[in-house]
Homo-oligomer: A and B are copies of this chain.
Amino acid sequence: MERTPFISAANVSERLAQPPALAISTVIFALRPSESSGRPTLWLPLVRRIREPFEGMWALPGGPLTQSQSLQDAAATNLADTTGLTPNYLEQLYAFGGLHRSPSQRVVSIVYWAMVQPTEAALARESDNVRWFRADGLAELAFDHNQIVDYALWRLRNKMAYGSIAYHLLGETFTLAQVREVYEAVLNRTLDPANFRRQLKQTAHIEATDEYLQGGAHRPPRLYRYTGDPAAENSGAPPSSL
Q: Chain A interface (Cβ within 8 Å of chain B)?
A: 1-6, 10-11, 14-15, 17-25, 47, 49-51, 53, 59-68, 70-71, 78, 81-82, 92, 94-99, 101-102, 106-110, 129-130, 143-144, 147-148, 151, 158, 236-239, 241-242
Contacts and interface: CB of A to CB of B under 8 A. Distances in A.
Contact of A99 (B1, B5, B53, B70): B70
Contacts of A97: 65, 70-71, 110, 242
Most chain B CB inside 10 Å of its own CB: which residue of A110, A143, A236: A110
Nearest to A1: B62
Contact of A14 (B5, B67, B106, B130): B67
B81 A1 contact: no
Contact of A63 (B1, B23, B25, B108): B1
A24 B24 CA distance: 17
A22 B23 CA distance: 11
Nearest to A3: B63
A147 B238 contact: yes
Nearest to A65: B20
A71 B95 contact: yes
Contacts of A129: 5
29 contacts: A1-B23, A1-B59, A2-B21, A2-B53, A2-B59, A2-B62, A2-B102, A3-B51, A4-B63, A5-B63, A5-B129, A5-B130, A6-B81, A11-B64, A14-B66, A15-B64, A17-B66, A20-B65, A22-B22, A22-B108, A67-B106, A71-B95, A92-B94, A94-B238, A98-B241, A98-B242, A101-B242, A147-B238, A147-B239
B147 A242 contact: yes
| Total copies of the chain | 2
A19 B106 contact: no
B147 A4 contact: no
Given A18-B67, A64-B15, A147-B242, A2 B96 contact: no
Most chain B CB inside 10 Å of its own CB: which residue of A99, A109, A143, A144: A99
A5 B61 contact: yes
Given A1-B24, A67-B17, A95 B96 contact: no
Contact of A20 (B11, B53, B67): B67
A102 B101 CA distance: 29
